[in-house]
Amino acid sequence: MIGVFDSGHGGLTVLQALEHHLPRQQFVYLGDHGHAPYGNRAPDEIYALTLDAIERLFHLGCPLVVLACNTAAATGLRRLQQTWLPDRYPNRRVLGVLVPMVEAITGMPWMADIRTGQRGGRKRTVAIFATRHTVTSGAYLQEIGKRAPEITVVQQACPILVELIESAAPAAIVARAVRRYAALLMRRLNGVAPDAVILGCTHYPLIADLFAAHLPPGVEILSQPDITARSLAAYLVRHPVFGRATQTRPAASLFYTTGPAGSVSALASRFYGKTADFKALPKAT
Ligand code: DGL
């Protein structure tokens, strides 16, 4: 079984793509709805909540967990992969959404800066919409810069978007917020359209059409679900032990939440496109 974790509903956009690209894998989804949104919390708190969620998925029988949350990945994925995981769970793995996106945007493998030092791609500008915390962490800025310094990265934090999406706010309010964030971005860019835009929060693919409507026409919008799913499929070819494909189509994905299961399930189909019957897990303190 493969675990998928997000602070709330956003990771369901990734789960949908994982199921599509890896139809023979069984997935278990955990949303920490009881603590969402993460984006405006302190880094140490996000880190502690993330470890707790990953541990729960390990205990549910997942040797591999996909951290389908940019905020959690930008805050602590490297730290947990370098210290906590090897100490506590040396035979388990945690993969994020940031690495596949950086590889896709730079066209460079993650280890390229260390191994080859190759440089010299096309000059272009990439804009990133993300939570305040992902923006402040500078993770995308640094990781893209190391591999492709010719790319200018411009970030725009969207502090209230996750909250609006999680609370199923009226469409007009969400649209107004996106319009404001798009306008702020365009001001930073002095009105010049970027070559590509990254939706650097797994909640945002759900409102990709709003971003497209409020950005200059023709801007390429990269969202993470498919990019993450392709990257995971390639990882499992290299490391089959972390995802034993079933011979027949597996059972439907399983869903757990630290929030109220009833209302979480009711909202989930908007993100997932079909019914998701969440079971409640006790919230970590
Ligand atoms: N989906 C999470 C992300 O990708 C949202 C984090 C939050 O809860 O603010 O960043």
pLDDT tens sequence across 165-207: 988 899 999 999 999 999 999 999 999 999 999 999 999 999 9
How many angstroms separate the CA atoms of 206 and 16, rounded? Answer: 12
Ligand 1 centre to CA of 217 (Å) is 26
Distance 6 CA to ligand 1 centre (A): 7
Are 182 and 233 members of one domain? no
The per-residue pLDDT for range 29-40, each reduced to its tens digit, is 999 999 999 977
Question: Based on the domain organization, do 215 and 105 belong to the same domain?
Answer: yes
Residue 271 C-alpha from the chain's centroid: 14
Indicate if the alpha-carbon torsion angle 250, 252, 256, 257 is positive or negative: positive
Domain tally, the chain: 2
In this structure, the answer to whether residues 212 and 236 fall within a common structural domain is no
In a domain, 203, yes or no: yes
Pocket test for ligand 1, best of 6, 13, 75 (most atoms within 8 A of CB): 6
Question: Based on the domain organization, do 105 and 216 belong to the same domain?
Answer: yes
CATH number of 108's domain? 3.40.50.1860
| Rounded-to-integer distance, Cα 97 and Cα 69, Å | 7
Ligand 1 centroid to Cα of residue 22, in Å, is 23
Give me the mean pLDDT over the 38-58 stretch: 93
Pairing of β 93-95 and β 124-130: unpaired
For the record, the structure tokens of 170 come out as: 């009226």
What span, in angstroms and rounded, lies between the C-alpha atoms of 33 and 264?
8
Q: 230: which 2 tokens? A: 């392709």
User: Of 195, 223, 251, which closes a domain?
Assistant: 223
Residue 272 region by backbone torsions, left for phi larger than 0, else alpha for psi between -120 and 50, else beta: alpha
Compute the distance between CA of residue 109 and CA of residue 3 in angstroms, rounded to an integer.
Answer: 24
Q: What phi, psi does 127 have (nearest 5°)?
A: -105, 145
Q: What percent of the chain has pLDDT over 90?
A: 80
pLDDT at 285: 57
Domain that holds residue 133: 101-223
